[in-house]
Chain A
């Protein structure tokens, strides 16, 4: 049972463009939604995270949009750069004390120069 569905599987964006990755979840107990960035040969690194009490969170060029009623959230990368080329994972967890992350399958982003 895949509790977090992520799309697209891969994405090619021109330098300076906007990259958009979408995720949908099923478990209404989820209330913490982080995005991780992973480069080849490295572990995932936390990029940005959101709780459902806000609809949007922005950190630099990265923005999370959250739609609680639709159980969907998305990552927007503004002014995409070649250095952003990586695999991006959305995740979700219940924020009740110590929790575990349920990940999407990942989106491989390539930003062309």
Chain B
């Protein structure tokens, strides 16, 4: 177990709705990254937060947004859900120690958009 937790584990929404996914980082980790993993694909980077500021963003539209809180927990918000948003959403926490960074993934939230 990595110590990274995510909630909920599963979620069903309809097209056009909004969703919020939550992640609690591993203790001592001040960076969180979110990834989208479509069925049968590798995870794709959505964005990263470091000390509550967005630190980088992948090729995802603005309707994907996030927050990081002072305790380093994080949220991923998706507005105007589309069918293609159905995927496993993973968060990963990490810390830079001695020049090395390792990302530890949570179990993910499985989102189904109908």
Identify the A interface with B (CB < 8 A): 4, 6, 32, 34, 36, 41-46, 49, 89, 91, 95, 97-106
* B102 A106 Cβ-Cβ under 8 A: no
**Across the interface, do A49 and B102 meet the contact criterion of CB distance under 8 Å?**
yes
- Point out the residue from A6, A46, A104, A105 that lies within 8 Å of B102, measured CB to CB: A46
Specify which of A43, A98, A102 is in contact with B108 (CB 8 Å cutoff): A43
Q: Roughly how many angstroms separate A53 CA and B56 CA in the complex, as a whole number?
A: 26
Q: How extensive is the interface on chain B, given as a class?
A: 20 to 34
Contacts of A91 in B (CB 8 A): 42
B27 at the interface (CB under 8 A from A): no
* A95-B105 contact in complex given A101-B43, A104-B42, A106-B41, C-beta closer than 8 Å: no
Q: Are A41 and B94 in contact (CB under 8 A)?
A: no
Contact B40 A98 (CB under 8 A): no
Contacts from B to A (Cβ < 8 Å): 2, 4, 31, 33, 35, 40-45, 48, 50, 55-56, 58, 90, 92, 94, 96, 99-108
Question: 9 closest A-B pairs (Cβ-Cβ)?
Answer: A103-B42, A43-B105, A100-B45, A43-B107, A44-B105, A105-B42, A103-B43, A43-B108, A89-B42
Could you say which residues of chain B place their CB within 8 Å of the CB of A44? Answer: 43, 90, 105
CA of A104 to CA of B43 in the docked complex: distance in angstroms? Answer: 8
User: Given A103-B43, A105-B42, do A43 and B106 touch, yes or no (CB 8 Å)?
Assistant: yes
Q: How far is the CA of A2 from the CA of B67 in the complex (A)?
A: 28
Within the assembled complex, what's the spacing in Å between the Cα atoms of A46 and B102?
8
